[in-house]
A and B are shown apart, each in its own frame.
Chain A
């Protein structure tokens, strides 16, 4: 856990005293990623660097795992905190192996143990140890260097990590790959992370909590969903942009928003039952499933009034489905792409779990704002 208490940093310049960070109080719970977000020069990097004392605070306190960092030797403190920077900063004179083992070596780990750790870490990101251990940083691509940079910070298994725009120098496609890779890793390693970024999309993807900075002040600190639903002031609103509703779609899973009743009619049931379902729900489309619950087709109630027979006979094939693990953004995109008003939601095996329409999307957006 990391706690900042009225943290302040001022610099004396020839033009007078400049307040870089102004009384920031912030708490990052254990195992969460907190993204410090804001325009350049807003004090987010200075705040980060005060946590491991690369910058000495003018006033205020930093607590890491309950310890006041004032009382800890800065060298020892830094060895217990992972540190990743945008330029990576791998040492060109050392191999990948030795770069990863820097902090374990500083801590005096047994050589065998630290070298085994390097192999284990490389495997974690899908880099073949046999191929990469003895390479020098200049023999790696930008994305590989950045991966090794993150591994180096993880080497001594610190509970806390500081990351200063770690993926900022990578091209957009690889950036997303590495971000997702890191998030997957985070699910198992559960580090407490403070992450500096100026990229809103990155923050939305990575953060459990976003702290928005302006001119050294903390404007708002909230979960991405809260932030988008209830921006604290005009600055936060303008920083988030005019399409907050669309951004929020990304944060909600289909499973959370879909309706489950009425679900569907079975293929052996008669048409009049399907029409009754339609009348009851007010929906024109009725889905038809087989005995295992797998989606077979959809029938339009209006076209079939007065007819008779099995529901199955009148069903047409379904134009689009969405999986329950997708986010609402892709669901809405599918609705527009295929021009359908109701989208069936299925699980990985094709079993129908529910459906979603514009109304359901709208309602879950409204809910997400009130309950974080």
Chain B
């Protein structure tokens, strides 16, 4: 049965996928962005003259508060990923039907409340410190993850599920073998957005006594102390860029090669 193969795909790496313009692609990938940012920082540093020395005066504070900041973010986003993916997955099951849309609307509503308000509310309920701050950040980080998990799983093509059922896969096997891997790209997209939000809003946690780099920023503002403000702001910005970079790498690593549009 030596038949000619009808249409050998001409481009094996990326057939049938819309190509983004290459400059846009390059900008969107994290690595060059990181370089540009570091370069800009370096220039600013040199231009500002004795600023480096006054910033380095806060060295100890920066290290201590960065750890605290990271701890906050890690707790909030870690819990958000676990809860968000689980809730999204549960809501995507057919038994929930229309109720899941209603629940997602409630989540949506939650996001429209400003972070500061959520933090204030959690402070009134739980007092000050780490716990209410983590709760507030967590609540705010949750939605993109739930939303993307739900959408990604819901968008599994019906014929894939039909084929899977027809071959005798159980519901659990279909979820872990078909639905979840095929939704991973979308889910990881949600996690990336969520983490960006989480790292970005974490400085506010200082306001309810949870510390973090917000301490330097807000105190700097209050005292009109430029070096102190920058000592908080620059690490915060770097952390945000670094987190996005790490998640982007993770996305490439985790998502199966047959699905990821990036390859």
Binding site for B on A (CB under 8 A): 52, 54, 74-80, 83, 85-95, 102-103, 106, 124-127, 135-144, 152-153, 162, 174, 177, 181, 184-185
Contact = CB atoms under 8 A, between A and B. Distances in A.
A89 B164 contact: yes
A140 to B, nearest CB: 7
A76 B168 contact: yes
8 closest residue pairs by CB, A with B: A89-B163, A136-B258, A78-B168, A79-B168, A83-B166, A141-B7, A87-B159, A93-B256
B57 interface: no
7 contacts: A75-B170, A89-B157, A94-B258, A102-B167, A126-B2, A127-B5, A140-B9
Interface string B203-231: 00000000000000000000000000000
A83 B257 CA distance: 26
B1 A106 contact: no
A341 to B, nearest CB: 37
A181 B1 CA distance: 7
A89 B178 CA distance: 11
B159 A89 contact: yes
B6 interface: yes
A181 B2 CA distance: 10
Given A89-B159, A92-B259, A126 B166 contact: no
B3 interface: yes
B115 to A, nearest CB: 36
A92 B159 contact: no
Interface string B7-23: 11100100111000000
A91 B168 contact: no
B259 A78 contact: no
Contacts of A103: 167-168
A87 B157 CA distance: 10
B251 interface: no
A106 B167 contact: yes
A85 to B, nearest CB: 6
A125 B160 contact: no
Interface residues of B, number: 33
A52 B166 contact: yes
B177 interface: yes
Contacts of B164: 89, 91
Given A75-B170, A83-B166, A85-B159, A91 B9 contact: no
A192 to B, nearest CB: 17
Among B1, B8, B181, residue most surrounded by chain A Cβ atoms (within 10 Å): B1
A92 B7 contact: no
B165 interface: yes
Contacts of B169: 75, 102, 106
Nearest to B159: A87
B178 A54 contact: no
B182 interface: yes
B162 interface: yes
Contacts of B157: 87, 89
B254 to A, nearest CB: 12
A201 to B, nearest CB: 20
A152 B181 CA distance: 20
A89 B16 CA distance: 17
A174 to B, nearest CB: 5
Nearest to B180: A93
Contacts of A92: 160, 182, 256, 258-259
B153 to A, nearest CB: 13
B162 A89 contact: yes
Interface in B54-105: none
Contact of A54 (B166, B170, B257): B166
A184 B2 CA distance: 12
B141 to A, nearest CB: 27
B182 A141 contact: no
Given A136-B257, A181-B3, A78 B166 contact: yes
Contacts of A102: 167, 169
Contact of B12 (A87, A126, A139, A174): A139
Given A76-B168, A126-B1, A127-B5, A93 B258 contact: yes
Contacts of B5: 126-127, 141, 143-144
Contact of A138 (B16, B160, B163, B165): B16
A152 B5 CA distance: 18
Contact of A93 (B159, B162, B163, B181): B181
Given A75-B170, A92-B259, 4 more contacts: A78-B165, A89-B163, A125-B3, A184-B1
A78 B167 contact: yes
B173 interface: yes
Contacts of A52: 166
Interface in B186-244: none
A200 B19 CA distance: 41
Contacts of B3: 125-126, 177, 181
Contacts of A124: 1
Among B3, B168, B169, B178, residue most surrounded by chain A Cβ atoms (within 10 Å): B168
A85 B5 CA distance: 21
B168 A139 contact: no
B162 A85 contact: yes
Given A75-B170, A184-B1, A142 B162 contact: no
Contacts of A91: 160, 163-164, 177-178, 181-182
A177 B182 contact: no
B160 A89 contact: yes
A151 to B, nearest CB: 12
Given A75-B168, A93-B182, A106-B169, A143 B7 contact: yes
Nearest to A80: B168
